[in-house]
Structure 1
Amino acid sequence: MSEVLFLAHRVPFPPDRGDKIRSNHLLRRIAEMAPVHVGALADDAADLAQESAVAAIATSHCIVRRSAPLPLAALAALGQGLPVSLAAFASAKLQRWVHHVLETRPISAIFVFSGQMAQYVPGAFRGRVVMDFVDVDSAKFEAYAQTGALPRRLLYAREARLLRRFEEMTARRATTSLFVSREERALFESRLSGSARPDVRALGNGIDTELFDPAAVVPAPELAGGGPNIVFTGQMDYPPNITAVELFAHEVMPRIRAVHPEARFAIVGRAPTAAVRALEGVGGTLVTGAVPDVRPWLAGADLVTAPLLIARGVQNKVLEAMAMARPVLLTPAAATGISAADGEHFALAEAPLALADRALALLADQAAAHAMGLAARRFVIAECGWDRVLAPLRALISGLRESEADAA
């Protein structure tokens, strides 16, 4: 192959949240195959500060700060009949840079990370286009439209409708479209119109089991004494995470603390909203905000939970906890795309009472909880290493068969 243009809706450094973990590993792997040109958007000054990390791996790059506030992006989208998701990630500067790279470099393939970035792919480009949707965003907005206040529900319904149309158009334009699990791929394919089907495949998430190794981490001192400790990790301005921790703090922890009065629920993650901060002290809840490293918090957990009611794709937080040999309690939604066994590698429950019952059973039987954690780590080592997960990537980018790509 010649050179590759890599587009991402967020700077892929540092790999400290779900989307950045995936985009970072994809970018690194592509950079091993060919010279790569990176175009990405920055959410804030911290993202902009990662430009040197991008420059170290890229032949050329363009990092642009997203400047339009969401309300202005929404107004622009309404005026143009576009999904808000596209207007929020639109940049004339980045678009000009993309055109310059395509005109001046021998680009044979464009790798697009996240559906919002498909707007930057010119219709006239004749090379390969690999579109990593990760998950079906329009389905997420459909779920949002079922709850909440009426004006917001209407906006979510509009976003879901327009985004669904854009996703299908993008998949038909792309050479290959990727989703993070077989379930997400099947969901997307079930929503396509007409009989002709674009090339849609599953490419899962991986986990660095050497980094997430319980033998190499000291538990967070904040979790010492008292307990048992139950931990949730995640980006805490993300609506499904907010709903999950509110449910656990208000409806599950009281049942657990009826048996374990000193039990604590630690919500570990950056950008907690006012609603999340209001949970501090409720049912033994601790809200940490951003931490430099989630691994000590996982290492100190007697139980890790991911009680997500809405979840798209494979949850990195679940793979991280499993790699750290923790017993993990999660909902079926949070287990999507992880082909592990309930009762062996993790514990599944959905309703608050069922979540509390499974939590209490694991806390009461430390030997069983320990065995589950060890089985979870063995599973991710065997099934979820990045080398194994990304093995098909060279063939997808080059257009060669996998055997030919491996030999190239």
Structure 2
Amino acid sequence: MHSSKTYKKLVVITSRFPFPLEKGDKLRAYHQIKELAHHFEIHLISTSEINVGEKWKSQLKPYCKTITVYPINGFQKITGLLRQLLSKKPFQVGYFYHLSIQQKINKQLRRIQPDHIYCQLIRSAEYVKNYHDCPKTIDYMDAFSKGMERRANTANWIYKLIFQSEHKRLTNYENSIFEYFEHHTIISKQDKNYIFHTLKEQIHIVPNGVDESFLVSPSPSKQEFDLVFTGNMSYPPNITAVQFIVEEVLPLLPKNIKLKIAGASPSSEVLKLASDQVHITGFVEDIRTAYQSAKIFIAPMFLGTGLQNKLLEAMALGIPCITTSLANNALDAQPNHEILIADEAQTFAHQIQRLLAEPKLSQQLIEQGRSFISAKYKWNKVTQTLVDLIKN
């Protein structure tokens, strides 16, 4: 990736190894590293709950000078969580932070002597917050505190208490960690407004993008399904979304309407939604095939924060999309022109029937949606703000 030109040394720290791309934070880190490698000498440091083999590392090697992965075992996870009972830090920070890893990272930083550190997520901020030998940038990505608050509002008793506690801890930590970093980024204006710091206007918005492979002219494929939803199917906002589709939207539609649910690690709640109308695939090697197998992409997102990669990808591939106001606040597509909006089951059913009955509307959303994504959400374009921050 590099010529003989001298590049600034950039250490990138992530709480999960950025491959495979089945989670939003991994996809964001992978594509940002790919773009940053055009401008910097990348040294990647990741913690990981799962074993990272050479096959996965090989996906990052073209972009990184060095790659180091620190495994987190079951004992460390439990002790990390328990430690937080005696502190005010978020449980998820404790889950990923361990003193033995801290000591190794300290040695690494002394050896590398970076010109800049880019820390993805507050989960990994503890490892570098007290390193002051170079400027640092933190990527909040999403406002985790707001996501936890939404989960608390819909959870039952004991989970409600846990989520409320984590919401409070996250709110305080997102605020306090701000001071340790020179630069700050987040995925959308909506998420920026949920960070409660007096200087939050200094946070730069760096959206996610779409891979070029999603923007090439789609090859014709048989659309066996009317509706499709994709995502990591163990992630609570995605579970809530597909339960809503199956239990509240499908009963309002004709019985011949078929839905595909595609994505890694379907939970037991998701698996039991399977029926003659509902097909659940699990992990899909090329997620583009899942999008292209249906006439409409439906994303009833009520709980999550951030910018939905699934909407970027579906629109880029030319699949008409229906989503909530919450999800579109981050995306900022034009309703009834580039996307359709619905916030309750009746409206989702109505929008689906409109699209199935009006080929002209469907074609308009396909064309305008693709143009919108191509103009606004290519990775090289959205990552430029981050490049400029690190360079300056």
Residues 1:159 and 2:166 are matched in the alignment: yes
SS at match of 1:335: helix
For residues 317 and 40 of structure 2, the distance between their equivalents in structure 1, rounded to whole angstroms, comes to 34
Q: Which of 28, 31, 41 is 1:25 aligned to?
A: 31
The answer to whether the Cα contact below 8 Å between 2:231 and 2:263 also exists between their aligned partners in 1 is yes
The answer to whether the Cα contact below 8 Å between 1:270 and 1:289 also exists between their aligned partners in 2 is yes
Distance 1:78 1:41, change over 3 A: same
SS at match of 1:207: coil
- Over residues 247-300 of structure 1, what are the superposed CA-to-partner deviations in whole Å (9 max), with x where a residue is unaligned? 11011011112xxx3211111001000000000017x11111111111112112
For residues 81 and 106 of structure 2, the distance between their equivalents in structure 1, rounded to whole angstroms, comes to 26
Q: Which of 312, 317, 334 is 1:324 aligned to?
A: 317
The offset of 1:370, in angstroms, is 1.8
| 1:141 counterpart residue number | 148
The offset of 1:130, in angstroms, is 0.7
For residues 276 and 294 of structure 1, the distance between their equivalents in structure 2, rounded to whole angstroms, comes to 18
| 2:352 counterpart residue number | 359
SS at match of 1:7: strand
Superposed, which structure 2 residues align to 1:334-353 within 5 Å? 334-353=327-346
For residues 196 and 325 of structure 1, the distance between their equivalents in structure 2, rounded to whole angstroms, comes to 39
**TM-score normalised to structure 2 length:** 0.92
Residues 1:252 and 2:249 are matched in the alignment: yes
Structure 2 residues without counterparts, runs of 5 or longer? 1-6
| 2:265 counterpart residue number | 271
| 1:119 counterpart residue number | 126
Q: Which of 223, 227, 230 is 2:227 aligned to?
A: 230
Structure 1 residues without counterparts, runs of 5 or longer? 400-408
| 1:373 counterpart residue number | 366
SS at match of 1:336: helix
For residues 348 and 194 of structure 2, the distance between their equivalents in structure 1, rounded to whole angstroms, comes to 27
| 1:211 counterpart residue number | 213
For residues 48 and 72 of structure 1, the distance between their equivalents in structure 2, rounded to whole angstroms, comes to 29
Task: Count how many residue pairs are aligned between Structure 1 and Structure 2.
Answer: 385
The offset of 1:93, in angstroms, is 4.4
Q: Which of 240, 245, 257 is 1:243 aligned to?
A: 240
Residues 1:83 and 2:90 are matched in the alignment: yes
Distance 1:139 1:48, change over 3 A: farther
The answer to whether the Cα contact below 8 Å between 1:233 and 1:317 also exists between their aligned partners in 2 is yes
- Over residues 349-385 of structure 1, what are the superposed CA-to-partner deviations in whole Å (9 max), with x where a residue is unaligned? 0111111111111111122112211110011111111
Percentage identity across paired residues of the two chains: 24
The answer to whether the Cα contact below 8 Å between 1:64 and 1:94 also exists between their aligned partners in 2 is yes
